[in-house]
């Protein structure tokens, strides 16, 4: 398995500000993902964080709103910019090691509340 930590675990932010979430994995992984889980909803994939290149965003998510960095194989950050109350969610980091192991592991999540 992979042990994933996220910082912060929770935060309360004001409208218009930004929050950067860090994801650290205890071993090198090939793929890292960021998901959002809005209150009472399922998980929605925001983007795939690519090491050394721009992230790949899913439909409905853009780089200006959710800039992502992945400087190496064990670390990634997600920034949620220009916050509004609709951004209140749990943000989860997820990783996969790659073939032949196709299991995906999830971090504990960061609970964001925007006032």
Partner 1 sequence: AQSVSQHNHHVILSEAASLELGCNYSYGGTVNLFWYVQYPGQHLQLLLKYFSGDPLVKGIKGFEAEFIKSKFSFNLRKPSVQWSDTAEYFCAVNAPPGSSASKIIFGSGTRLSIRP
Which residues would be at the binding site for partner 1 (CB under 8 A)? 31, 33, 41-45, 48, 92, 94, 96, 98-100, 102-104, 106-109
State which residue, 33 or 66, has the beta carbon closest to partner 1. Answer: 33
46: left (phi over 0), alpha (psi -120 to 50) or beta: alpha
State which residue, 85 or 100, has the beta carbon closest to partner 1. Answer: 100
Residue 8 CB, shortest distance to partner 1, in Å, is: 15
Q: What is the torsion angle, in degrees rounded to the nearest 10, for the CA atoms of residue 18, residue 87, residue 54 and residue 35? A: 130
Residue 97 CB, shortest distance to partner 1, in Å, is: 9
CA distance 74 to 24: 6
Residue 40 CB, shortest distance to partner 1, in Å, is: 9
Q: Which two tokens stand for residue 89?
A: 């969610």
Q: Which two tokens stand for residue 93?
A: 């980091």
State which residue, 27 or 84, has the beta carbon closest to partner 1. Answer: 27
């Amino acid at each position: 398995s992979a042990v994933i930590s996220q910082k912060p675990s929770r935060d309360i932010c004001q409208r218009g500000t930004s929050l950067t979430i860090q994801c650290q994995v205890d071993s090198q992984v090939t793929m890292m993902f960021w998901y959002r889980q809005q209150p009472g909803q399922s998980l929605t994939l925001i983007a795939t964080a690519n090491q050394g290149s721009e992230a790949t965003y899913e439909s409905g998510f853009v780089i200006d709103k959710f800039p992502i960095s992945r400087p190496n194989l064990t670390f990634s950050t997600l920034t949620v910019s220009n916050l509004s109350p609709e951004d209140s969610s749990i943000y989860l980091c997820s990783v996969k090691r790659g073939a032949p192991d196709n299991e995906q592991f999830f971090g504990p999540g960061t609970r964001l509340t925007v006032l």
